[in-house]
Structures are given as structure tokens and as C-alpha cells.
Structure 1
Amino acid sequence: MVTIKEIAKMADVSRSTVSRVLNNSGYVSVESRKRVEKVIEKTGYVPSEQAKSLRTKRTKIIGVILPTIQTETPSRIVTGLGKELSLHGYQILLANTNLDKEKEMEYFDLLKVRQVDGIVLIATNIKSELINKIKETRIPFVMVGQEAEEISHVTNNDYHAARDITRFLIEKGHDKIGFIGVDETDRAVGYWRKKGFLDEMAANGLKVEESWVQQGIFDIDSGYESMRKILMNSLQQPTATFAVTDRLAIGAMSYLKQQQKRIPEDMAIVGVGASEMSKYLEPPLTTIDYQNEKAGEKAAKQLIALINSEPVEEKIVIDYKLIIRDSV
């Protein structure tokens, strides 16, 4: 197999010039680059990735820690990450925690040992121990979905999105609105979406009965059970319900239909996430599109900038869009 030394000799350049061409780093004159590239093409030379890693001290691998592979949001974010990272020659190593917070710590340590060039965490709730580890490490790191001071992150404006979709329900004539949320330790989905809902209701002088507010988890069954509790426990039932994810909204719609309730005539439903399934429901679901693939692309660009020691914007907020359909 041909070596870099032999390529340098055939192209009449130094070994360091060949290395700069292969790694696309440092200055190389146009003439020298053409000669090197011509020899590489002629010989069919392919650099050893292991040798290349030793020279550059980079593995060209990015570790991605995600909470689950069963919902669309993480998969869309990973799709965006993959598209952008591949343009720069990076591969992705996925670590699925299955919503186990201890696994986040384990995978973070494992990826450090694997000497990845950077780590992306698609976060739900954040342990202070992990935050401290991130701040102490020198590995370039970006978080997606949650905010954290002194850590580069890409997030959504959950508070204002929740206010906007609640305001939409109010403008459609609903003054009794239920809410299906998740644990508030998830600051983005659990805390900020709930606060946005409550603040918009208060701003319009509307009360929220305690029985109208239910807490579930991130699955369809939980939405079903939460809607059951709202209807069973309320003397005066709401005419609309805001579910903080599409999966919760889908479960809620299933229970309503089982009870012969008409959507939206008897109960309007809205969700968040713009899942693929949401537009095929009967009726199609009104929801918030968070542009998760774009969030992945932005996170990848942040991470590449950190890897290359370039200036980087610490906080990026992705815009959202209200998608109005027939569930309201």
C-alpha cells in the first residue's frame, strides 16, 4: 500500500503538505494541492482512520445521548444533527438512556473514554452532578431541549408557545380549559409549558379548577388516563384541553371518543410537537411545530464551532409555529 512519504515524493512536495491536503488544514498552494490530489486519485490512496486520529488527535466521532428512541422529537433532532455533522466528516455514536437519569452519567463517562470529539445531550431533566461534570470537562458539549448557564444549548421558547396556544383556545371562545402536563423537573415541557398556560389564563381573568389539571408521563396511555380523571373528577367540565405533547393529546382524544364525546364540539384538544401522526388523526390535531430537525442542525453547528475553538453563541432559541387543524 502506498504511503504518505511516497505520495509526497511523487507529487514533489513535503510530507507535511500531503498531510495538510488530507486533513484540509493549513495553507497549501493551489499548484501543490492539485499535484497531491492528482497522485492520490491515481494511486487510490485511502488514509487509515486510526493513523489520521493519531495525527489530528481527533476521532471524527460525536457522541449523542438521547432519552428515548420511541418518540419523534429525539429522532428528528438526531436527523438534523446527522445531516450537518456528516457535511464535516463526522459520524454519530448514539447512547439511549431510556429515560434513566443515571444512564446519562454513565454514558457521559463512557463517551469520554471513547475519546469522542464532542457530545450532544438531548435533555429532559438535568441532574446537577451531570452539569458539574460537563463544566469540568474539556470535551466540547452542547445541550438540546433544556437551558443551562455556562453551557452551550439549543432550546425552544416553551413558555411563549404555551401562552400562544392557550390564547388561541381563548380566542376561539373557550374559558374553561383543562391541562395535561408532565413532571415539572422537566423544566422545558413540565414547568415552562404549564407556567405559560397558567399565566395566559390569569392574564385573561380565567380560573383553572384543580381537577382540570392532570400530570402524566410521555406516553399515549397517560394522556388517556389524564383525560379520564379530568372528566370523572370535575363537576363543571372544561370545553377544551391543552396537552403538553402530541402523544398525551392522542391519548386524551382516544378516551373522549370512547366516551362518545365529539371533538371539537364537546371538547377541543391541542398538543405540542407536530408529530407525523397528528395530521392523520380524526380530526387532525392542532399543535405546535418546534422544528426539531432545525434544532439538531443548529446544535451541530454549535458543536463544530466549539471543536474548532471558534466563537459560539451560548444560547440558541428555535422559533415555533402554531399549526391550526380541526381539533379546535
Structure 2
Amino acid sequence: MLTIKEIAEMANVSRSTVSRFLNDSGYVSEEARKRIDKVIKETGYIPSEHAKSLRTKKTKVIGVILPTIHTETSSKIVAGIDNELAKQGYQILLANTNLDKEKEIEYLDLLKVRQVDGIILVATNTEERLVKKVQEMNLPIVIIGQHMPGVTSVVYDDFHASKEITNYLVEKGHKKIAFIGVDETDRSVGYFRKKGYYSAMNEHRLEVNSTWVQTAIFDIDSGYKAMKRILTKSSILPTAVFAVTDRLAIGAMSYLKEQGLLVPDDIAVASIGASEISRYVDPSLTTVDYHNEMAGKQAAKQILAIISKTEYQEKILLNYRLIIRNSV
């Protein structure tokens, strides 16, 4: 394998000139650039990434921490991140917490030890311990899905999306609307989507029966069980249910069908997520599209801006769109 010294001799330039050329880290005259480029092309020289990282103190790797690796939301976010980072020669190192809050902390430490150039965290909570850890990392970090003070965040407009979909249910004639949410330690999905629901119900002066509001976790079976609790505990049945994710909504629809109830004739169902399966369940699911691939692209752009010390935004609020289908 050729060394920088040998390339310098063949191109009749200094080793420092070759180093500046390879690292794009300083002035190299056009004449010297052409000679070095000619030697590299003729010899097929490929710089050692390890050696390059030692010189530049950059690994060209970004750590990405995901709450779950197998969901469509995660895959779209990763696709957006990877497509944007690849343009600048970066690779990604994935870590899957499987919704374990302790692993979020562990992976932040582990990725820092692995000397990644930055971390993109798809966060599921804003608990004080995690926020403090992120703020003390001394490493470029971008958060997707949650807002943390002093940390660059790419967030969804959860409050207004939830309010709009609840308003849509009201416009379709529903006054008894149930809600399936998640734990409020997840500020975005748990707190703000619930707040949007309550805001719409209050503005329309509609009563919220306490048994209509149930908390679940992020899977289909949990949505099934939450719908079961709503129907078995309520003396007055709702005519519609808003679930905060597609998976919860699909679980709810499954239980309704088992009970012989028709969607949307007996109970309408709406959600957030716009997953591919939401188009193919029967009936197709009215939902909100959050443009998850765009979230990944924006996070990648911000992490690159932080690394290169160019202008970046502390908070990016993404838009959304309501997709009207047959479940309402």
C-alpha cells in the first residue's frame, strides 16, 4: 500500500500538500492538485479511513439511537438520515433501545466511546435524567420527536395534528369521542396529542367520559386491550375513537370487529402515522402523515451543520397532512 510520502515523491510535492489535498483542509495550488490527482488515479490509491480519522479527529460516522428498529416510522427516519449523510461521505451506526429508557442513556455513552462525530436520538421521553445526560454530552446531538432546551430538535406538530383530527371527527357528526394514548412522559405522543384532543373537545363543549380515555403502549395488542377497556367499562359507548398511533388504532379496530361492531358505521376510528398498512386494513384508516423521511433528512442536515460549525436551527417544526379514508 502506498504511503503519503511515496505519493508526495511521485507528484513532486511535499507530504503536507498531499495531506491537505486528501483531507480538504487547506490551500493546494491547482498545479499541485492536478499532479496529486493524477498519481492517485494511476496508482488506485485509497486512503485508510482509520489513518484519516486519526489525522482529522473525525470518524465520519453518526450514531443513530432508535426506540424500535422494526417499525415503518423508524425505517423512514433512518432512510432520510442515511440519504442525507451519504452525500457528505458519512455512515451511520444504529442502536435500538427497544423502548427501554435505560438503554437510551447507555447508548449515548457507548456511542461517545466509539468516537462518533455526532448522535441523532429519536427520543421517547423528556425525563430530567435523559435531558441532563444529553445536555452534558459535549458532542453534536440532534433530537427527533421531542424538544429539549438547548438541544437542536426536529419535532412534529403533535398538538395541532391531534386537534385537527378530533375536529374532523366532530365535523363528521361525532360527539362521543374516545381516546387511546400513551404515557405522558413521552411529551410528544403522550402529552401533546392528548392535549390536542382535549382542546378540540373543550372548544366544541363536548363531554369527555373518563372511561373513554385509556393509556396504552406502542403496539397493536395494547390498542386492542385499550379498546376492550373502553367498551367494557363504559355505560355510554362512544361513536368514535382517536388513537395516537396507527398500530393502536389497528388493534382497536380488531377488537371492535370481534365484538361484531362495524367501522365506521357503529364506531369510527382515526389515528396518526400514515403507515403503509393503514391503507390496506379494512376499512382503510383515516390518519395523519408526519413525513418521517423528511424528519430524518432535517436531523441529518442539522447535525452536519453543527459539526461544520455553520448556521443551524435549534428547533424545526415539521408540517403534517390529514389523510381522509374510510374508517370515519
TM-score class normalised by the smaller sequence: over 0.9
- 2:91 alignment counterpart: 91
- Work out the CA distance in 1 between the residues paired with 2:207 and 2:33: 71
- 1:63 alignment counterpart: 63
1:146–1:153 contact (8 Å) kept in structure 2: yes
- Work out the CA distance in 2 between the residues paired with 1:30 and 1:162: 57
Identity over aligned pairs, percent: 62
Letter in structure 2 aligned against 1:81 = I
2:127–2:185 contact (8 Å) kept in structure 1: no
- Work out the CA distance in 1 between the residues paired with 2:199 and 2:127: 27
- Work out the CA distance in 1 between the residues paired with 2:325 and 2:34: 56
Deviates more, 1:29-38 or 1:75-84: 29-38
Task: State how 1:196-207 maps to structure 2 within 5 Å.
Answer: 196-207=196-207
- Work out the CA distance in 2 between the residues paired with 1:134 and 1:152: 11
1:77–1:295 contact (8 Å) kept in structure 2: yes
1:101–1:127 contact (8 Å) kept in structure 2: no
Tell me, what secondary structure is at the counterpart of 2:215? strand
Any stretches of 5+ residues in structure 2 without a counterpart?
none
Quote the offset at 1:250 in angstroms: 0.2
Pairwise CA RMSD of aligned residues? 1.2
2:141–2:151 contact (8 Å) kept in structure 1: yes
Quote the offset at 1:201 in angstroms: 0.7
Letter in structure 2 aligned against 1:261 = L
- 2:211 alignment counterpart: 211
Quote the offset at 1:234 in angstroms: 1.6
Task: State how 1:59-138 maps to structure 2 within 5 Å.
Answer: 59-138=59-138
Q: 1:45 aligned to 2:45?
A: yes
- Work out the CA distance in 1 between the residues paired with 2:166 and 2:32: 63
Any stretches of 5+ residues in structure 1 without a counterpart?
none
Quote the offset at 1:173 in angstroms: 1.0
1:11–1:36 contact (8 Å) kept in structure 2: yes
Quote the offset at 1:111 in angstroms: 1.1
- 2:238 alignment counterpart: 238
Tell me, what secondary structure is at the counterpart of 2:35? helix
Quote the offset at 1:65 in angstroms: 1.3
Tell me, what secondary structure is at the counterpart of 1:242? strand
- Work out the CA distance in 2 between the residues paired with 1:30 and 1:291: 44
- 1:13 alignment counterpart: 13
- 1:295 alignment counterpart: 295
1:81–1:299 contact (8 Å) kept in structure 2: yes
Quote the offset at 1:130 in angstroms: 2.6
- Work out the CA distance in 1 between the residues paired with 2:80 and 2:9: 42
- 1:285 alignment counterpart: 285
Tell me, what secondary structure is at the counterpart of 2:223? helix
What TM-score does the superposition give when structure 1 sets the normalisation length? 0.97
Deviates more, 1:26-35 or 1:102-111: 26-35
Letter in structure 2 aligned against 1:121 = L
Quote the offset at 1:67 in angstroms: 1.1
- 2:255 alignment counterpart: 255
Quote the offset at 1:73 in angstroms: 1.5
Quote the offset at 1:141 in angstroms: 0.6
Letter in structure 2 aligned against 1:91 = Q
Quote the offset at 1:77 in angstroms: 1.0
Tell me, what secondary structure is at the counterpart of 2:229? helix
- Work out the CA distance in 1 between the residues paired with 2:188 and 2:17: 49
- Work out the CA distance in 1 between the residues paired with 2:93 and 2:200: 41
Aligned residue pair count: 328
Quote the offset at 1:127 in angstroms: 3.1
